[in-house]
Amino acid sequence: VTVLEPPITSVAEPFWAATRRGELVLQWCTSCERPIWYPREVCPACFGSTLEWRAASGAGVVHAVSVHHLPGPGRSADDVPYAVALIDLAEGVRVMSNIVNTAPDGVTVGDAVQVTWLPLSDGRNLPQFEPAA
Amino acid sequence: LGDRTLRGKAALVGVADLVSPTGELALHGRALEAAVIGAALDDAGLTIDDVDGIAAGGMPTGTAEYFAIQPRYVDGTMVGGSSYELHVEHAAAAIAAGLCDVVVGVYAATPRSDRNRRNGGGYRPMPGPNPAMEWELPYGLRMPMAAYALAASRHMYEYGTTSEQLAQIAVDTRRWAALNPNARYRDPITIDDVLASPMQTSPLHLLDCCLVTDGAGAFVMASAERARDLPKAPAYVLGAATCGTHSMITEMHDLTTTGGSVSGPAAFGMAGIKPSDVDLLMGYDSFTITALLHLEDLGFCPKGDGGAFVEDGKLGPGGSLAMNTNGGGLSYTHPGQYGMFLLVEAVRQLRGECGERQLTDPKIAVAHGSGGVLSTMGTVVLGTEETL
């Protein structure tokens, strides 16, 4: 699978650095103790700017899913079908990702999933999800 | 809403659109803008010299310069397909406040024929803001349709909405298109046709998706007083409101409830109407799910009941709720930002200019635009003289 490799914004450098070690981390606001997604300079809940990175469980539940029969950006015709999903992480934020290592058409809303990794060309890893064991 | 009300202060006095059944137009760029602005001014009985305000998504100064308008009111609001409903809302407020007298709004795009021009052609992902580049597009999200597909996925899960129910919207919209000689597609389709059309991004089939055509539209707005001296019956702005909820689909907190649940009641409240008063709903149909969400969020049926609501074909000709009588983005035209065409059809229906598809004596029409990926909703309630 070839993907459109994501840029690294400065605020998200710790996120991408952690993926090199196969670790999923999330930004948290130390003022209101809420997790933040996507990474920001300030907390969208309280405008606090004292933020820190904490390890995430990597566990989540499929909130919505769309099996792509047309390739999106970066993908080729050989890559379809593939599943793009919104995933509610156990920590309480919703992220977009792919559901892999399973038949795309079998993925349903409510499925329990766990993070896995797709190597990128620069040593980073792109978080993907697969059915929880 | 007290003194904030815009009810009856301004009117759409001229409209025009340029659309072809082939989906392609010979004109493009400024020439296309000139043609459609000219047609809208003719329709209004005004000239370019009367214009002192301009609305166009992005940088309206280029348009103003090209036509030698020196505007004292400029609106470059660009929120995607609903920008044109927001332009009407803002222009009504500006006219009511005395900032300007006559506003022209314009939209022109030729994505279909651009495929044959240099630098054109091919699928280009929507150039997202940085957050989408970093957090959505690496997952191969096919924009914009996949964002809507995710909303449909969630609606099906929460409410049991079916692909057949979504397909009914495409079927009824095509029935309207059959009555519009300018529509891109006019042949009847069935629910089975929709379900048999190629799956794009599940659960959306090809016939759940809007067209890609060339198209242009323009409106002219003036104060209610001035409108009464012009040749055609004014379409008065009775209410208008906006609600934005997010930019990228990951950030839409409730995938089954749009900002229409805020802008709709606000605009209806300003107009002093309820859903049952609406004779025509022009509800932005980028995809079948888009239109279904509008029906719920504007209060035509309870949240979650949209599928059952549309099932009996009530949205089509002869049904109890006329929706998208021009044939919609699904069958009439969709050059990328369709909101202008909602306004044009609403005005034409209120004037009685719609030929075979004309409704019987409509008095209140709603143009409800959706911009981005269900991101920014703009609701405009229009009414005839007798609704004032």
Nearest-angstrom CA–CA distance, B102 and B14: 11
Contact between B82 and B378 under an 8 Å Cβ cutoff? The reply is yes
Under 8 Å CB-to-CB from B350, ≥6 apart: which residues? B233, B235, B280, B362, B363, B365, B382, B383, B384
Q: List the single best residue of A61, A66, A89 to mutate versus B (max B Cβ within 10 A).
A: A66
CB contact under 8 A, B135 and A96: yes
* pLDDT(B58) > 60: yes
Min Cα distance A96 → chain B (Å) is: 6
Residue B117: its pLDDT value, please? 75
* pLDDT(B2) > 80: no
Residue B293: its pLDDT value, please? 98
**Residues of chain B contacting residue A69, judged by C-beta atoms under 8 Å apart:** 198-202
Residue B190: its pLDDT value, please? 98
> What tokens appear for B244 in the block?
């934005």
Tell me the per-residue pLDDT of B297-332, one tens digit each, with 9 for 90 and over: 999 999 999 999 999 999 999 999 999 999 999 999
Residue B266: its pLDDT value, please? 96
Quick check: is B332 catalytic? yes
**Taking the model in full, what pTM does it have?**
0.96
**Residues of chain A contacting residue B151, judged by C-beta atoms under 8 Å apart:** 64
Closest-CA residue of chain B to A100: B139
pLDDT band of B115, cuts 50, 70, 90: confident
Question: Is B93 in a helix, a strand, or coil?
Answer: helix
CB contact under 8 A, B250 and A68: no
Instruction: Choose the closest CB to A68 out of B133, B134, B140.
Output: B140
Q: List the single best residue of B139, B257, B289 to mutate versus A (max A Cβ within 10 A).
A: B139
- Tell the burial category of B97 from Cβ atoms under 10 Å away from its Cβ (0-12, 13-18, 19+): exposed
Instruction: Identify residue B357 by its one-letter amino acid code.
Output: R
Contact between B315 and B173 under an 8 Å Cβ cutoff? The reply is yes
Interface predicted TM-score of the whole assembly (ipTM), two decimals:
0.97
Instruction: Choose the closest CB to A96 out of B153, B203, B250.
Output: B250
Residue B121: its pLDDT value, please? 47
What's the mean pLDDT in B213-223? 97
Under 8 Å CB-to-CB from B51, ≥6 apart: which residues? B41, B69, B71, B102, B103, B104, B220
pLDDT band of B166, cuts 50, 70, 90: very high
Angle among Cα B311, B80, B352 to the nearest 5 degrees reads 60
User: Low-confidence residues of chain A, pLDDT below 50?
Assistant: none
What 8-state DSSP symbol labels residue B329? I
**Measuring CA to CA, which residue among B285, B309, B289 is closest to residue B299?**
B309
Under 8 Å CB-to-CB from A10, ≥6 apart: which residues? none
Tell me the per-residue pLDDT of B119-148, one tens digit each, with 9 for 90 and over: 544 555 554 457 999 999 999 999 999 999
Closest-CA residue of chain A to B134: A6
Q: How many helices (H) and strands (E) would you count in chain B?
A: 12, 12
Average pLDDT along chain B = 95
**Measuring CA to CA, which residue among A36, A28, A17, A89 is closest to residue A54?**
A28
**Residues of chain B contacting residue A27, judged by C-beta atoms under 8 Å apart:** none
Choosing from B159, B185, B236, B284, the catalytic residue is B284
Choosing from B107, B185, B332, B338, the catalytic residue is B332
Contact between A51 and A37 under an 8 Å Cβ cutoff? The reply is no
Instruction: Choose the closest CB to B153 out of A8, A66, A94.
Output: A66
CB contact under 8 A, A86 and B250: yes
Residue A1: its pLDDT value, please? 79
Q: For chains A and B, count residue pairs whose Cβ atoms are closer than 8 Å.
A: 114
Residue B5: its pLDDT value, please? 85
Work out the percent of chain B whose per-residue pLDDT is above 90: 93
Contact between A68 and A81 under an 8 Å Cβ cutoff? The reply is yes
Quick check: is B236 catalytic? no
Closest-CA residue of chain B to A109: B157
**Residues of chain B contacting residue A84, judged by C-beta atoms under 8 Å apart:** 139-142, 146, 150, 201
